[in-house]
A and B are shown apart, each in its own frame.
Chain A
Amino acid sequence: AQRVTQPEKLLSVFKGAPVELKCNYSYSGSPELFWYVQYSRQRLQLLLRHISRESIKGFTADLNKGETSFHLKKPFAQEEDSAMYYCALKPDTGGFKTIFGAGTRLFVKA
């Protein structure tokens, strides 16, 4: 079955500390992986996708097909990074849908 797992519901770090939000997926094909973010009182929006291999707001994510992981990392967390983060998977076959994990709430303390 296609599944996205985010093991941490809440992650709390101090400002300036490194942060890693974990994401593991179950899918045997070649999916497209995304990270979406929802800041307080804002809409859910795309943060980055694995295809583009770019850094957005200092965040990067590497797709590890061997470990079926797509962890989100940032070397120095900022208070404005506090938000809800969702990892998502778009299968390459089997229909047009994107599957989301349960989300991780990141809280960056001053």
Chain B
Amino acid sequence: KAGVTQTPRYLIKTRGQQVTLSCSPISGHRSVSWYQQTPGQGLQFLFEYFSETQRNKGNFPGRFSGRQFSNSRSEMNVSTLELGDSALYLCASSLFLAGAQGSGANVLTFGAGSRLTVL
């Protein structure tokens, strides 16, 4: 089956602009998580969506937002871009079911990422 698909793969923006990134999860996965990956910080959790609801959010400013559609596809948006927002943004899908600890449902399957460069 198809993996997690992220678009666009690469993009360059200037400070103050906004950007929207898209993620299509594995078929049947209703949970989508977003991470920011940088060389020094590793993977920082942004947010997680399930059935169009944000269930958890990381410690990022309000400029970072997201949403999920009824087909489980997700988008994240970053407004008023800053130089420090340059990073690889990873999307991951999973089953992430309540009470599923240890069942394998919590394994994340990652997309290739969207590399954002802010000039």
With an 8 A cutoff between CB atoms, is A57 at the interface? no
Residues facing B in A60-79 (CB within 8 A) are none
B30 to chain A, nearest CB (A): 11
Q: 7 other contacts beyond A44-B110, A97-B58, with CB at 8 A cut-off?
A: A46-B109, A49-B107, A86-B42, A95-B55, A96-B50, A97-B48, A98-B45
**B101 contacts which of A88, A92, A97, A100 (Cβ < 8 Å)?**
A92
B102 to chain A, nearest CB (A): 4
Determine the distance from Cα of A97 to Cα of B56 in the docked complex, in whole angstroms: 7
A102-B33 CB under 8 A given contacts A44-B110, A96-B96: no
Tell me if B45 and A97 are in contact (CB < 8 A). Answer: yes
Determine the distance from Cα of A95 to Cα of B96 in the docked complex, in whole angstroms: 10
Tell me if A98 and B40 are in contact (CB < 8 A). Answer: no
A30 to chain B, nearest CB (A): 8
Q: Most chain-B Cβ atoms within 10 A of its Cβ — which of A98, A99, A102? A: A98
Determine the distance from Cα of A96 to Cα of B106 in the docked complex, in whole angstroms: 9
Determine the distance from Cα of A2 to Cα of B111 in the docked complex, in whole angstroms: 25
* Number of residue pairs A-B, CB distance < 8 angstroms: 61
Tell me if A100 and B107 are in contact (CB < 8 A). Answer: no
Contact with B along A17-48 (1 / 0, CB 8 A): 00000000000001010101000000111100
A100 to chain B, nearest CB (A): 4
Tell me if B50 and A102 are in contact (CB < 8 A). Answer: no
With an 8 A cutoff between CB atoms, is B76 at the interface? no
B62 to chain A, nearest CB (A): 18
A36 to chain B, nearest CB (A): 8
Tell me if B56 and A32 are in contact (CB < 8 A). Answer: no
Tell me if A99 and B45 are in contact (CB < 8 A). Answer: yes
With an 8 A cutoff between CB atoms, is B89 at the interface? no
A43-B111 CB under 8 A given contacts A102-B40, A102-B42: yes
Tell me if A96 and B48 are in contact (CB < 8 A). Answer: yes
With an 8 A cutoff between CB atoms, is B116 at the interface? no
Contact with B along A77-110 (1 / 0, CB 8 A): 0000000001010101001111111110000000
Determine the distance from Cα of A46 to Cα of B72 in the docked complex, in whole angstroms: 22
